[in-house]
Amino acid sequence: MARTRSGGGAGRRPRLAAMVSVGAVMLGVPVGAAHAADPAGCSRTVGTGGDTVVCERGIPQGSTLTGTDKGEDTITVRGGVAGTLVLGRSDTVLVITGTPGARGGDGPRGGDAGGFLDFDGAEDGADGGPGGDGGAGITATGSVRLGAGVNTVTVAGGIGGDGGEGGGGGRPDGFWSRGGGDGGSGGDGGDGAPGNAGELVHGSGQDTVTVTGGNGGRGGNAGGGGADRADRSSGRAGDGGNAAPGNGRTIHQAGGASTKLPGSITLTVTGGAPGAGGGTGDGDSHVPGGPGGSGAAAGGNSGPITLGRGSVTVRGQCGGNGNTSTITMIGTGEHTVRAVGAGGNTGTVIGSDNGSTTIEVTGESAVGNTGRIRGASGSGTATVTVTGGTSRTPDGDLGATGNSGTVAGGPGPDTLTVRGGGGTRGGAANTGTVQGYAGKDVVRLTGGTGTSADGAANAAGATVDGGDGPDADSCSLAGGGSGKVVNCRPTEAP
């Protein structure tokens, strides 16, 4: 029969521990299932086929929680990992959530004017309190190490708390015709927290991992101003809290870049959404206060990711870029990297040193790539596609440039495709550098399609370099342009 116990069993006598070990052998539990006492605040339901662990106060710094080797574990951590969490060989469902920020307190309403003997008039409403910041799913001191099983992992940063509402201004006194009080300002929303601000380590298992940054809290509404005089106003609404990236620190595989692990990983990293500004006061004011502004956007990934065989998808929301740091794929086999956001990549993406890598970088409203993309290193090969986005403006939908940074292949035969964004006016495919390097490469540049004007394939000041001499590499430019083209054998545009 399953039983539940709480963490903190340091006071057990040796005789009891021996009895538990004998019981484990009788139940057929593997010896590897033994583990140290769980952190305080964690409860474990022990089963013959796996354990269920719930930690309601997170995993504190300096403490360790371990999974089992029995078969199937379920681990839920609320409040973030500031210590160490190590999975065993069991197939594990792991859910980690950071602490949400508290809501700011509402400002009290101002007192009304008191009548015949009140010469001061009505009081102003008090400002609302700011929302609290969320806590990271994995904090700066935290480490989560995945095991050898088939693992499904979800890590979410805490959301920012909403700002409190400003108090309304007090009402005027009809006898003296004194004006009402000003409304209080709304509190700012709290900032969201990263899903990972510490260390997340992929082991030798088959892992599906989702990491999400926390949303910013909403700004508090302004209090309404009291009536009866034109200089009485509502308070200003609070600003929304800032969004957080999905990954803000390190995601890598055990053993470092030189280790070839048997497992694989499917990793999805998404930034949070910024909080909206609060609304203006709705009291009897003659002069409305200003609305609050939205919080700042965050990239999907803002920390280094180094992984072996598998796929990595990073996405920014609501104006955030997809990747702002470094993503490196290593080892043999097939690899995929996707970066999507307002701008797809402003950091660095490096393909595998000894396998095949597919890299797709997409800007939704801005340039697809302003950073550096190296399709492959070592003996790897790459297929790279970069696409610019479309920006909505009062002058129409404007296509953005596909690449203004560097897009390069590797030593093997690579295919590099760069496209400008479409719209009323198409964006250029390339204003930076596209280079094939060694190997027989195929380079394709296509300017964005526009209803009034198409974008150039290779704009003035840009460079396309096949990299291996004029006969080894083929280059097609749909949209022309006056940029530099070297070491390419021209081919008909697709």
Look at residue 243 and tell me whether its pLDDT is greater than 70.
Answer: yes
Amino acid letter, residue 25: V
pLDDT value for 276 = 94
Alpha carbons within 13 angstroms on the beta-carbon side of residue 7 total 22
pLDDT value for 89 = 97
Mean pLDDT of the region 198-226: 92
Which has the closest alpha carbon to 103: 211, 32, 188? 188
Residue with tokens 């008039």: 121
pLDDT value for 453 = 86
The pLDDT > 70 percentage for the chain reads: 83
More confident: 231 or 347? 347
pLDDT value for 494 = 53
Look at residue 9 and tell me whether its pLDDT is greater than 50.
Answer: no
pTM of the complete model: 0.89
CA separation (Å) from 436 to 138, 296, 440, 477?
A: 39, 37, 8, 15
Identify the band that residue 136 occupies on the pLDDT scale cut at 50, 70 and 90. very high
Helix (H) or strand (E) holding 25: helix 14-26
Query: pLDDT (tens digit, 9 = 90+) per residue, 313-333?
Result: 999 999 999 999 999 998 888
pLDDT value for 379 = 79
Torsions phi, psi of 33, nearest 5?
A: -80, -15
The set of residues, in sequence order, having a beta carbon less than 8 Å from that of 488 and lying 6+ positions away, is 443, 464, 465, 466, 470, 473, 474, 475
Look at residue 285 and tell me whether its pLDDT is greater than 90.
Answer: no
pLDDT value for 2 = 44
Amino acid letter, residue 202: H
Query: pLDDT (tens digit, 9 = 90+) per residue, 333-371?
Result: 899 999 999 999 999 999 998 889 999 999 999 999 999
What are the tokens at 324? 């702002």
- Taken in order 173, 174, 176, 179, is the CA torsion positive or negative? positive
Residues in a beta bridge with 193 = none
Give the torsion through C-alpha atoms of 328, 84, 102, 248, to 10 deg.
-10
What are the tokens at 278? 């609060």
Q: How many whole angstroms separate alpha carbon 20 and alpha carbon 9?
A: 13
Mean pLDDT of the region 214-229: 80
Give yes or no for a contact between 382 and 405, defined as CB atoms under 8 angstroms apart.
no
Mean pLDDT of the region 154-179: 83
Helices and strands per DSSP (H, E), number in the chain = 1, 33
Residue with tokens 């969320």: 134
Which has the closest alpha carbon to 257: 411, 132, 377, 115? 377
More confident: 239 or 112? 239
Query: pLDDT (tens digit, 9 = 90+) per residue, 404-453?
Result: 999 999 888 899 999 999 999 999 999 999 998 877 899 999 999 998 88
Q: Which residues of 161-194 are buried (b: 16+ CB within 10 A; e: fewer)?
A: bbbbbbbbbbbbbeeeebbbbbbbbbbbbbbbbb
pLDDT value for 224 = 76
Mean pLDDT of the region 155-173: 90
Look at residue 5 and tell me whether its pLDDT is greater than 70.
Answer: no
Alpha carbons within 13 angstroms on the beta-carbon side of residue 109 total 12
Residue with tokens 């490096």: 350
What integer best gives the mean pLDDT of the chain? 86
Which has the closest alpha carbon to 90: 21, 19, 170, 149? 149
First to last CA, the chain: 67
Look at residue 13 and tell me whether its pLDDT is greater than 50.
Answer: no
pLDDT value for 76 = 98
Q: How many whole angstroms separate alpha carbon 254 and alpha carbon 292?
A: 45
Identify the band that residue 90 occupies on the pLDDT scale cut at 50, 70 and 90. very high
pLDDT value for 380 = 82
Which has the closest alpha carbon to 96: 47, 48, 151? 151
